[in-house]
Amino acid sequence: MSDTEALVASLRATFRSGRTKPLAWRRAQLTALRALFTDNREAIADALHADLRKPRPEAYGAEVDLPVREIDHTLAHLEEWLAPEPLGAHALAGLPEGTTAGTHYEPLGTVLVIAPWNYPVQLSLVPVAGALASGNTVLLKPSELAPATSALMARLVPEYLDRDAVAVVEGGVPETTELLAQRFDHIFYTGNGTVGRIVMRAAAEHLTPVTLELGGKSPVFVDRDADIDTVATRLAESKFRNAGQTCVAPDYVLTDPATAQRLAAALAEATERMFGSDPQTSAAYGRLVNQRHFDRVAALLDSGTLAFGGTTDRDDVYIAPTVLTGVKAEDPVMQEEIFGPVLPIVEVADLDEAIAFINDRDKPLALYGFTGNATTRARLVAETSSGGIGFGLPMAHLRVPDLPFGGVGESGLGSYHGPHSIATFSHRRARLDVPLS
């Protein structure tokens, strides 16, 4: 038996012992996980800066404070979410008097969480929190592309969490491949569609259910009635955070030609307010994760017309916040998820053309709209499909723990956060009790 097989068998034995099922154990693990974040706030920020040059305010907000809020919300509502749900007597017609029925959640068993590099703490430990809240044992595989954060997770997790129930395996493709050869009761993967298909094929060998948190090109529709200065500020803040390396970042803008011109100018002003005239020297601006990703994103700059930005420095894995105008559907920047600090503006005649453009492509992880028109908002909801949809502030739906977060089609399978994590990492079991007399 290999070390990996032995580790998975050990986690499975812990689950079978029953120790992870009591509410008290689940709450204790969540409380300990919360302390991991609060006790190590600076160490987490240091690791994220080493891996991504992530600014400390971004690190605190997205990688410490957001997970702590998620844990607090779960602790406050966990007993309520886990409560059995009885079936009304009206549904039991034809069965003997005194029959009762209902559903309850039971944990799945041993869960594998494969985390990405772009938010390597949040996207490692928020799924872990959901799996533990559901009463499972967990094996976490952090991303090797964020080595400082991976090493920190490997050190901290066994210090704070039940070592018999939670384990961390570091490494790259060989280690992940070996993990995927094992039988788990659920696999939770965050990353790209190419690897997502590999995960799903491996899971199929054991009929293991999967959650795939993927990505895609999340569009933004900007209506001509929108306040352009507000739109520009909110777009710049969401697009250029983490140097654009966010799965739900605005990927491209759809708007009419006149609005496109005004928006490009306003985005230039908003970006300078955020990062100054030279973002490369700004402590508020991050970097691409490595030179391979730098080369991929830099190759997309030869699309449309450069409105501003475009400066690159490969040695510093730096690409300036960039806006491109006059972009066409066939341009390179429109052929893949950008996952970097480049925002194309695509001109459309009207809402009809914008909806058709969106629907001609894979279903995105998120869709955003800036409009004061209720009919326009209603049409975007009714006539498109995406993992989530938000108006007025991109990426804000992530902060609402009772909203499910996940994709559809090419952008993912399944969802989590809040009560939706319990549903993901549990089996909803039916129960029927019929009297013997």
- Asked if residues 141 and 112 have their Cβ atoms less than 8 Å apart, the reply is yes
Mean pLDDT rounded to a whole number for the chain: 97
- Asked if residues 427 and 108 have their Cβ atoms less than 8 Å apart, the reply is yes
Say yes or no to pLDDT of 69 above 80. Answer: yes
Instruction: Verify that 365 and 262 share a domain, yes or no.
Output: yes
- pLDDT band for position 94 (cuts 50, 70, 90): confident
Say yes or no to pLDDT of 306 above 90. Answer: yes
pLDDT of the residue at 343: 98
Tokens representing 118 are 């772009």
Residue 405 falls in which region: left (phi positive, over 0), alpha (psi -120 to 50) or beta: beta
Say yes or no to pLDDT of 437 above 90. Answer: no
Instruction: Verify that 50 and 140 share a domain, yes or no.
Output: yes
Instruction: Verify that 322 and 361 share a domain, yes or no.
Output: yes
Please name every residue paired with 111 in a beta bridge, in sequence order, or none if there are none. 138, 186
Kindly state the helix (H) or strand (E) to which residue 154 belongs, with its residue range. helix 147-160
Beta-carbon contacts of 66 under 8 Å, excluding residues fewer than 6 positions away, are: 122, 126, 398, 399
How many structural domains is the chain composed of?
2
Instruction: Verify that 69 and 141 share a domain, yes or no.
Output: yes
The Cα–Cα gap between 318 and 321 comes to 9
100 three-state secondary structure: strand
Average pLDDT over residues 401-429: 97
- Asked if residues 250 and 221 have their Cβ atoms less than 8 Å apart, the reply is no
Instruction: Verify that 341 and 228 share a domain, yes or no.
Output: yes
Instruction: Verify that 204 and 320 share a domain, yes or no.
Output: no
- pLDDT band for position 307 (cuts 50, 70, 90): very high
Instruction: Verify that 131 and 158 share a domain, yes or no.
Output: yes
- Would you please indicate which residues are annotated as catalytic (active-site) residues? 213, 247
Could you report the per-residue pLDDT of 276-287, keeping only the tens digit for each? Answer: 999 999 999 999
The Cα–Cα gap between 193 and 199 comes to 10
Instruction: Verify that 61 and 103 share a domain, yes or no.
Output: yes
Instruction: Verify that 181 and 227 share a domain, yes or no.
Output: no
Tokens representing 368 are 């955003």
Neighbours of 350 (CB within 10 A): 10
Could you report the per-residue pLDDT of 244-256, keeping only the tens digit for each? Answer: 999 999 999 999 9
Could you report the per-residue pLDDT of 359-389, keeping only the tens digit for each? Answer: 999 999 999 999 999 999 999 999 999 999 9
Say yes or no to pLDDT of 89 above 80. Answer: no
Residue with tokens 């999967």, as numbered in its chain = 210
- What are the Cα distances from residue 147, in Å, to 45, 49, 154, 234? 14, 11, 10, 31
Average pLDDT over residues 388-395: 97
Of the candidates 263, 252, 261, the residue with the CA atom closest to the CA atom of residue 226: 263
Of the candidates 239, 254, 435, 211, the residue with the CA atom closest to the CA atom of residue 360: 254
pLDDT of the residue at 93: 82
Q: What is the pTM of this model?
A: 0.96
Domain of residue 285, CATH code: 3.40.309.10
Instruction: Verify that 203 and 233 share a domain, yes or no.
Output: no
- pLDDT band for position 420 (cuts 50, 70, 90): very high
Tokens representing 235 are 């777009």
Domain of residue 206, CATH code: 3.40.605.10
DSSP assignment of 308-322 equals E---EEGGGTEE--E
Could you report the per-residue pLDDT of 189-242, keeping only the tens digit for each? Answer: 999 999 999 999 999 999 999 999 999 999 999 999 999 999 999 999 999 999
pLDDT of the residue at 277: 96
Instruction: Verify that 162 and 40 share a domain, yes or no.
Output: yes
The range of the structural domain enclosing residue 310 comes to 219-399
pLDDT of the residue at 1: 77
Neighbours of 61 (CB within 10 A): 14
Instruction: Verify that 209 and 245 share a domain, yes or no.
Output: no
